[in-house]
Amino acid sequence: MKRALLIVNLGTPNKPTYFSVFKYLRQFLMDGRVININPILRFFLVNLFICPIRSFSSTKIYKKVWNDETGSPLLHNTKKLAEKIQSKLPEYIVEYAMRYQSPSIEKVLNKLLIQNPDEIIILPLFPHYAAATTGSVYEEVSRILSKKWVVPKIKFINQFYDNDKFIDAWVEKAKKFDINSYDKIIFSYHGIPNSHVDNIYENSVCNDHDCEIKITEINKFCYKATTYETTKLIASRLNISPENYVVTYQSRLTNKWLSPFTDEVLQAIANEGTKNVLVFSPSFTADCLETIIEIGDEYNELFINSGGHKLDYVESLNYSDLWSDAIISIIK
C-alpha cells in the first residue's frame, strides 16, 4: 500500500514585509473558525482595523526572527522535520504544508494526489485539538477533496497531547536545565477564546467539567482539559510537584480568552519575590514568534522589570530526533 503523510503547521508570511504580513494576517483572521463572529462584521473588523494596524508591528517582529537563508523559523523547522521523518519512513511520501500562505494545503495535496496514494494521513502539528487550528485544517482538506473525482483513504489525526513519545521529546528538551534551580515552572499554552472551549459542550460550559483535574469522555476534546493533562504528564516525568508549576495562556487578543494570562502571572510572581522561572510552551511544536519573541524577549523583559532575576525558555521540539520518532508513533 502506498501511503502519504502530510504534516501541517499554522503558517507564516512569505516575506517580512508589510504587505506580505498583511496578506498572511488577513487569510488567518478571516477564517471563520479563528474569529467566529458574523462574517460581515469579521470582514470589516479584520480588513479595516486589525490587519492595517497589526501588520506594522508584526512586520518589525518578523524582521527580528527572519533568516536571510532559511526565512521564517516556523517554515524552516517544519521543512526540516518533514525531511527527517522522510529519512526514517522511506516507504511513505512525506510532505509539509501551511494552513495559511505557502506552501498551501491545496498545492501540496494536489502534488500528493498526482502520485496516486492509497492513503493520506493528515497530521496537524497541534498537540491539543482546537476548532481554530486542527478543526480549520480538517475543514480546508475537506473543502479541497470535495472537488476531486478520486479521493483516497484519508486518515485524520486530531490530537496527541498524551502520546508517550511526544512527552519524551519534551522531557529530553528539558534535560539541559537544572529544574530544581528554578523557583517556579510556567507551562504557557497558546490562548483561545473562552467561547471556543465552551462550544465543545452541548448544554454546559467548560467551567462545569473540572478540566484542570482530569480527562473524561465529556471533556476529551476540550483544549483546556488537554493542556492541563499534557502539563501533568511532563511535570510527573520531571518530578515537578503541582505547587511548583502554573498553567497559563499567552497571545490573547481580548480578556475573554483562557486564563490565567502568562504575562500577568509572570508579573505577579515577580512582584511576590520569585526570582528564577523556567517556561515550557508545549502547544508550540516549532519555534516561532510566540516563543522566540513573545516569551524569549517580551515576557523575559517584563519578568526582569517586575523584580525577577532570570527567565529561561525550553525551546520547542522543532525537528529533534525524538519529535520525529513521536510523529511516527502517532501515525502508526
- What angle, 0 to 180 degrees and rounded to 10, lies between the N-to-C axes of helices 164-174 and 223-237? 60
Rounded distance between C-alpha atoms, residue 14 and residue 25, angstroms: 11
Q: Round to whole Å and give the CA distance between 65 and 294.
A: 12
C-alpha span between 82 and 102 (Å, rounded): 15
| pTM listed for this prediction | 0.96
Please give the pLDDT value at position 168. 98
Q: Which CATH architecture has domain 164-313?
A: 3-Layer(aba) Sandwich (3.40)
The highest-level CATH class for domain 3-159 is alpha beta
Position 109 scores a pLDDT of: 98
User: Which pLDDT value is given to residue 99?
Assistant: 98
Using alpha carbons only, what angle is made at residue 190 by residues 45 and 268, rounded to the nearest 5 degrees?
A: 105
Query: Per residue in 230-288, pLDDT tens?
Result: 999 999 999 999 999 999 999 998 999 999 999 999 999 999 999 999 999 999 999 99
pLDDT at position 171: 98
pLDDT mean values, one per 10 residues, the chain (332 residues) = 97 98 98 95 96 96 96 98 98 98 98 98 98 98 97 98 98 97 98 97 95 97 98 98 98 95 98 98 98 98 98 98 98 96
Grid coordinates in use for 226? 488537554
pLDDT of residue 256: 96
Q: Angle between the 321-331 and 73-88 helix axes, to the nearest 10 degrees?
A: 60
* E-only strand ranges, 30-152: 92-100, 119-124
pLDDT for the residue 195: 96
Rounded Cα gap, residues 117 and 98, in angstroms: 21
Instruction: Classify burial at 15, counting beta carbons within 10 Å of its beta carbon; exposed 0-12, middle 13-18, buried 19 or more.
Output: middle
- Would you list the domain boundaries of the chain? 3-159, 164-313
Answer yes or no: same fold for 3-159 and 164-313. Answer: yes
Looking at residue 122, its pLDDT comes to: 98
Instruction: Give the three-class secondary structure for 95.
Output: strand
111 grid coordinates: 502534488
pLDDT tens profile 309-323: 999 999 999 999 999
